[in-house]
Chains A and B, each alone.
Chain A
């Protein structure tokens, strides 16, 4: 049987991963090159093996082998092929296998690099990767087996890999199908991006552990993994943004981020990862904060596992927790073990990680970077505490509580504001030494222009304090960053006589990391424009209108023309309304907000009609309708100001990160 084959391959891979852990540890301790090499080859072999297992599962999903529990629960005959294939990560068991697949791929990619200069790291990198891989494979083998079959026993239906005594195999002719919320083209890209980001953060962690174990605590491990970390961060960021876009497009509540525990679970490693990307620069430039960087990467790793756990254990039910099972305690134990052992190692090496130079000024670049780290940790604490508090409350007082958006927004808004202020100031402060005078001299010009922007916005009629402060900070960051580009290019222009454009191009080309970073800063504040627009200016109205009736909002008029109900492919019943939209007297076009009802799962899905411009989105949802009556239909209309800047900022973000991560010519140095 094909399923038995897939399961067998996973078991073999698991044993291989265990062997590679043992061989690598022995090879490192006994200084035996042969054993280390053997561990490396075992590690390399896991990738083709997990690939075979994954393709086996994909084949079973695509061909409708509903006798398997997993295939039954995430696919159905009516689903299009792309969804059947991507159902690999549509449920818990498959997601864990997918995680292992990525882990083995990344670990193999790392072991293939040239190792001459840091051969002593290799066995320990293999150990950390293989232990992580073995953990996920063990979950797949013993608890969440995607190849388990359905059996009919005397006591009912059970899912098991091997035939229980007296059981008869079940052969359903159709499956339950995927959760409707997941039936979206976003399914192809959002989960893999997030997982790519999650899993690739294991690699810098593995190098950090290797550095701690071998005692090579200089910044070698950071230099090796720098680009890798940046790419991991890019994937994680993209995963978050794509998730936001998906929510905006199909969840039908007019927003993109709901402070749902699972969103926060993916956001937390992003926070520590971002803090890490900044603070490693202090270590590279000044030889400081080695312990802190170690702690940040340990936290990032465990938050990645925690994030996988939150989505996969069902301990925190949320709209994302489509996959629930009893593997929570195992995740908890694994996180505890890795955290305790990593931190113990860190404490053991604490004195080796002492700073080489000391800090001179509270306004120096490194001091401001530390402040940046403090703020990111502040956001992290708010997020972490908000996510776990409902559990604590339930355990202690048996009272269920919700920690919702108002809590997070109130707590994090000042921190995000302070981060934006730092983005505006820190690029102008110097490494090593800065005073109020030198910093003030650099900042006052952009700050003045930003203040003028605030005045202009105020005069234009916006008197909301959050908006004024927010847009002021956005303007400050943009002007400071452009000023930096300009000053750099002018300095080059004066020195080399190149024209301004060439100077700018070469300037960025020769210091990609810095100028890529600046582009990322710009992208962040462009996103902030969208977020501010939604937070401060979003308005909505809802009403039940007869055919020909209208709803008015923010200068727009939405007129209800007709509604039709029909069955369509994919086992859906679609209710689709036609509304015409006017801005003032100008006809803008027809929207088709609809409600899809999935027969198999009995779940509805709301798809809005949207018109998007740089200034605002008009977002129309069909809430309810009466088939044949004069009452008409109920619509909800959102006016989402500036939200497009969130997506525009995301594109700039990708560009900026690619600039920063693009390999520089070896001769030009770091």
Chain B
């Protein structure tokens, strides 16, 4: 089977549409043979439930269920066709990945280099949190030293917030 061109320009788009029609025809023929195994036509909602998890292979960053182009309408028909043949959601997604590459998935598959996309942000966040924690500790140590030199701190009065606010108000007036 032909793989989908990497760079999409108008020309390759047409080519890809052509490949698509060929694929579609082959699939239609194949399914005609197994017509006896067909189930009742899947509803639009069932189709969209799968299309939502896939990304339009030509218009970037558009989920397949909402993409208004003709090509996407045909891809949705393809999903319907495959559902009617009794294929599972995973099998359909797998079919699209094999034919159009991993980019049709809404997230990178969890393999190889792609793990980086999932690992780096939490690691960076935890590193930031750790640095902040260390900074807190050293600041607090310094603060304690300073207050030990200045003598003990004044204990805080009953409703500390209101006291503080009133003090602020006094300063302003």
Q: Decide if A540 is an interface residue (CB 8 Å cutoff).
A: yes
> For residues 38 through 77 of chain B, which have their beta carbon under 8 Å from a beta carbon of chain A?
43-45, 48, 55, 59-63, 66, 68-69, 73
A358 located at the interface, meaning its Cβ lies under 8 Å from any Cβ of chain B in the complex = yes
Chain A residues within 8 Å of B144, by CB? 360
Nearest chain-A residue to B112 (Cβ)?
A: A397
Q: Which of A285-327 contact B (CB under 8 A)?
A: 317-319
Mark interface residues in A474-515 (1 if CB within 8 Å of B CB, else 0): 000000000000011001100100000000000000110000
Task: Given A253-B66, A543-B44, decide whether A491 and B165 contact each other with a Cβ distance below 8 A.
Answer: yes
A452 to B24, CA, bound (A): 57
Is B98's CB within 8 Å of the partner chain A?
A: no
| Cβ–Cβ contact A402 & B161, under 8 A | no
Q: How far is the CB of B55 from chain A (nearest CB, A)?
A: 5
Shortest CB-to-CB span from B88 to chain A, Å, is 20
Q: Which residues of B contact A186 (CB under 8 A)?
A: none
Q: What's the Cα separation between A402 and B100 when bound, in Å?
A: 12
Given known A402-B103, A430-B161, A495-B169, contact A358–B146 (CB-CB < 8 A) = yes
The CA of A646 and the CA of B120, in the complex, are separated in Å by: 31
Cβ contacts under 8 Å, B139 to chain A:
355, 358-360
Q: Which residues 380-428 in A have Cβ within 8 Å of B in the complex? A: 381-382, 385-386, 389-390, 392-393, 396-407, 411, 428
Q: Chain A interface residue count: which class?
A: 35 or more
A438 in the interface, Cβ–Cβ < 8 Å?
A: yes
Given contacts A374-B128, A407-B107, contact A540 B113 (CB under 8 A): no
Q: Is B142 an interface residue (CB 8 A)?
A: yes
Q: Is A360 touching B140 in the complex (CB atoms < 8 A)?
A: yes
Residues of chain B with a CB closer than 8 A to A355's CB: 139
Give every chain B residue within 8 A of A488 (Cβ-Cβ).
165
Cβ contacts under 8 Å, B108 to chain A: 389, 393, 401-403
Chain B residues within 8 Å of A542, by CB: 44-45, 48
User: Which of B134-173 touch A at CB < 8 Å?
Assistant: 136, 139-140, 142-144, 146-147, 153, 156, 160-162, 164-166, 168-169, 172
In the bound assembly, the distance between CA atoms of A428 and B164 in angstroms comes to 11
Query: Inside 8 A of A495's CB, which chain B residues have their CB?
Result: 166, 169
Of A216-224, A254-262, A331-339, A342-350, the stretch lying at the interface with chain B is A254-262
Cα distance A411–B125 in the bound complex, in angstroms: 11
| A382 to B122 alpha-carbon distance, docked (Å) | 8
Report whether B132 and A362 are in contact in the complex, using a CB–CB cutoff of 8 Å: no
Question: Which of B69, B129, B169: most chain A Cβ within 10 A?
Answer: B169
Does residue B102 face the partner (Cβ distance < 8 Å to A)? yes
Q: Is B33 an interface residue (CB 8 A)?
A: no
Residue of B nearest to A262 (CB): B61
Report yes or no: B160 in contact with A634, Cβ–Cβ below 8 A.
no
A359 and chain B: residue at smallest CB distance? B139
The interface residues of chain A lying within 8 Å CB-to-CB of B132 are: 370-371, 374
A378 within 8 A of B: yes
A402 to B112, CA, bound (A): 15
Provide the bound-state CA to CA distance between A377 and B132, in Å. Answer: 12
CB-CB nearest in chain A for B160: A438
Q: Does A152 contact B (CB under 8 A)?
A: no
B35 contacts partner chain A, Cβ-Cβ < 8 Å: no
A381→B63 CA distance, assembly (Å)? 24
* Chain B hits for A404, CB < 8 A: 55, 61, 63, 106-107
Tell whether, in the assembled complex, residue A402 and residue B48 are in contact, meaning their CB atoms are under 8 Å apart.
no
Given the complex of chains A and B, what is the CA–CA distance between A258 and B61 in angstroms? 8
Interface string of B70-103 (1 = CB under 8 A from A): 0001000000000000000000000000000111
Known A430-B164, A438-B160, A669-B172; contact A254-B121, beta-carbon cutoff 8 A: no
Contact partner of B117 (CB less than 8 A), chosen from A359, A403, A428, A430, is A403
Cβ contacts under 8 Å, A359 to chain B = 136, 139-140, 143
Q: Does residue B124 face the partner (Cβ distance < 8 Å to A)?
A: yes
Contact of A400 with B160 in the complex, beta carbons under 8 Å:
no
Q: How far is the CA of A253 from the CA of B69 in the complex (A)?
A: 13
Q: How far is the CA of A373 from the CA of B34 in the complex (A)?
A: 60
| A355, closest chain B residue (CB) | B139
Given contacts A261-B61, A403-B117, A407-B107, contact A377 B128 (CB under 8 A): yes
* Tally of A-B Cβ pairs under 8 angstroms: 155
**Chain A nearest CB: distance from B36 CB in Å?**
26
Q: When chains A and B are docked, how far (Å) is the Cα of A29 from the Cα of B158?
A: 56
**The one of A318, A371, A541, A668 that contacts B61, using a Cβ cutoff of 8 Å:** A318
Interface SS of B by simple majority: helix
Using known A-B contacts A385-B120, A385-B121, determine if residue A401 contacts B103 with beta carbons closer than 8 Å.
yes
Q: Which of A583-633 contact B (CB under 8 A)?
A: 595, 604, 606, 624
Contacts of A360 in B (CB 8 A): 139-140, 143-144, 147
Choose among A358, A402, A405 the residue that contacts B142 (Cβ–Cβ < 8 A). A358
Given contacts A371-B132, A488-B165, A491-B165, contact A438 B156 (CB under 8 A): yes
Q: Would A402 and B114 be within 8 Å (CB), given that A371-B132, A393-B108, A634-B44 are in contact? A: no
Q: B66: which A residues are within 8 A, CB to CB?
A: 252-254
Within 8 Å CB of A39, what residues of B?
none
Q: Are B73 and A381 in contact (CB under 8 A)?
A: no
Whether B146 contacts A402 by the Cβ 8 Å rule is no
Contact with B along A24-46 (1 / 0, CB 8 A): 00000000000000000000000
- Are B61 and A399 in contact (CB-based, < 8 A)? no
B116:A540 contact, CB within 8 angstroms: no
Residue ID in chain A nearest B70 by CB atoms: A604
The reply to whether A381 and B114 contact each other, CB–CB distance below 8 Å, is no
Question: Contact: A402 with B61, CB < 8 Å?
Answer: yes
* B171 nearest CB across to chain A (Å): 8
> Is the CB–CB distance between A381 and B125 below 8 Å?
yes
A621 to B160 alpha-carbon distance, docked (Å): 57
Q: Does A367 contact B (CB under 8 A)?
A: yes
Question: Does A654 interact with chain B (Cβ within 8 Å)?
Answer: no
CB-CB nearest in chain B for A405? B106
User: How near does chain A come to B60, taking the closest CB pair, in angstroms?
Assistant: 5
Q: A406 to B139: give the CA distance in the assembly, Å.
A: 39
B46 (CB) vs chain A CBs: closest residue: A542
Asked whether A381 lies within 8 Å of B48 as measured between CB atoms, the reply is: no
Q: Contact check, B43 vs A492: say whether CB atoms are below 8 A apart.
A: no
Residues of B within 8 A of A442 (CB): 161
Tell me, rounded to whole Å, the shortest Cβ–Cβ distance linking B4 to chain A.
Answer: 10
CA distance A490 to B73 in the complex (A): 62
Report the 10 A-B pairs with minimum CB-CB distance, sorted nearest first. Answer: A404-B106, A253-B66, A359-B139, A542-B44, A401-B108, A400-B103, A360-B143, A358-B143, A358-B142, A378-B125
Besides the contacts A374-B129, A438-B160, A606-B68, what 18 more A-B pairs have beta carbons closer than 8 Å?
A: A253-B63, A318-B60, A319-B61, A359-B143, A370-B136, A389-B117, A396-B113, A400-B102, A401-B108, A402-B102, A402-B104, A404-B55, A404-B107, A407-B117, A411-B122, A428-B161, A487-B165, A636-B44
Q: What are 13 A-B pairs at a CB distance below 8 A?
A: A317-B61, A360-B139, A397-B113, A399-B102, A406-B107, A430-B160, A430-B164, A487-B165, A491-B162, A511-B172, A540-B45, A543-B43, A669-B172
